[in-house]
Structure 1
């Protein structure tokens, strides 16, 4: 209902992502009708693989097979829900990692993750794609099993064409050139989508455009320039956490700010820019 209010006031946010088990209901056919009546379409589903105490030492990278199987089972449950609701995106983020040297074997954990993701990938219906999100630290502090776009890229390439990289703007080290990453993911045809937010230091999940508007402008420029015929296939989602601002107002600010910045990026004369670059002007 909150998401419907955002769309009611802006007219530019008709889609919503759900998070399981937080948004779990007894009958998902009913929620499909309910969301449609609100003017919304459910287009992404996120399994929760970090809340359970059993995932303290990892979910699909846990050294205990029964924990890995539980995590896989939960993702399969989300795929089943997605099949009922015809949700096009399975969005995956893993908190898996370690806090101390020697706590886990890097390569064993990598292989467990790949094996688990292959099982999940093979179970997805034809209309569903996997979005694989990375984060360089937190909650793990020594190493994270999916820390950056390169590692996510490796897994996606091993899985197949329906696996794409998801870029969360707050999941990078300070000073990272995110627009460079986006340009390369587009060039490799493996950019799947974004979690839009803003940050100052860590994964702050603040209102989009509240701090670094220019960064998002440059990201949109690369998206428009490098993916002009296909940019509508990119999933744009808001991943934010508001405890100071009222949530609906914060979302309204975010979607309007995103649209404004994207529109400004459309005004760039790319032909003129390319000529200036070639002439070293």
Structure 2
């Protein structure tokens, strides 16, 4: 869905007088605060929209169907983020999740994103659920799994995600780790930490020199 820029500007213009009056009052009431500096920080503030957030409502444990409107492809998700960015001016990036959104043509995706004023933020790997065609299951963990072959598969997946990110112009990787345990004695925490650290070190070594790696650890999933 697209909204013409002139429609957005027309709507904003209809509210400008009221907005300016309130802003002037605030400036007078808060004369001790450099409001222009605060406003500029708000203008500069950007939030990357995760690609999975554009689907139907619910969680990964259950979805609530809607009639029409859900983006079906990466391209449609980029278009939706472009609409958000046009409306709020603060959603200038999209964060893809692999393998939910595997880029087939990085060049065309970059061109499309650029046309909406978007860039690609941190790439997200997924080893918290089994993927079609995978040789091993993550039922008992991924980067900390006691089975070295499972850890190797998870590491290779993250490196694949990095390669997709390089092609898209991203500069960061987010590793989602649902490698926790549910009951006392179920997991050797020391060994789990050592395996996770070793796996993350191997992934980090594959990062381009200007990239960052973020870890989202879900200790009880």
The verdict on a shared fold, with TM-score over 0.5 as the criterion, is yes
Equivalent in the alignment of 1:85: 168
Equivalent in the alignment of 1:64: 147
Deviation string for 1:58-94 (max 9, x for gaps)? 0111111111111001100011112212211211220
Two-structure CA RMSD over aligned residues (Å): 1.5
Structure 1 pair 95/135, CA: closer, same or farther in 2 (3 Å)?
A: closer
Deviation string for 1:26-75 (max 9, x for gaps)? 22222112211222100110001112171110011111111111100110
Q: Is the 2:144–2:195 contact (alpha carbons within 8 Å) kept by the matching residues of 1?
A: yes
Equivalent in the alignment of 1:124: 207
Q: How many angstroms apart in 2 are the aligned matches of 1:10 and 1:50?
A: 32
Q: How many angstroms apart in 2 are the aligned matches of 1:12 and 1:105?
A: 43
TM-score, normalised with respect to structure 1: 0.47
Higher mean alpha-carbon deviation, 73-82 vs 25-34, is at 25-34
Structure 1 position 21 matched with structure 2 position 99: yes
Which structure: larger Rg? 2
Paired residues for 1:1-281 under 5 Å: 1-52=79-130, 54-137=137-220, 139=221
Which segments of 5 or more consecutive residues in structure 1 lack a partner in the other structure? Answer: 140-281
Q: Is the 1:86–1:127 contact (alpha carbons within 8 Å) kept by the matching residues of 2?
A: no
Query: How far 1:136 sits from its partner (Å)?
Result: 4.8
Q: How many angstroms apart in 1 are the aligned matches of 2:80 and 2:200?
A: 33
Q: How many angstroms apart in 2 are the aligned matches of 1:134 and 1:97?
A: 8
Q: How many angstroms apart in 1 are the aligned matches of 2:129 and 2:114?
A: 29
* Residue aligned with 1:131, SS: strand
Which segments of 5 or more consecutive residues in structure 2 lack a partner in the other structure? Answer: 1-78, 132-136
Query: How far 1:102 sits from its partner (Å)?
Result: 2.3
Equivalent in the alignment of 2:69: none
Q: Is the 1:4–1:38 contact (alpha carbons within 8 Å) kept by the matching residues of 2?
A: yes
Q: How many angstroms apart in 2 are the aligned matches of 1:29 and 1:103?
A: 46
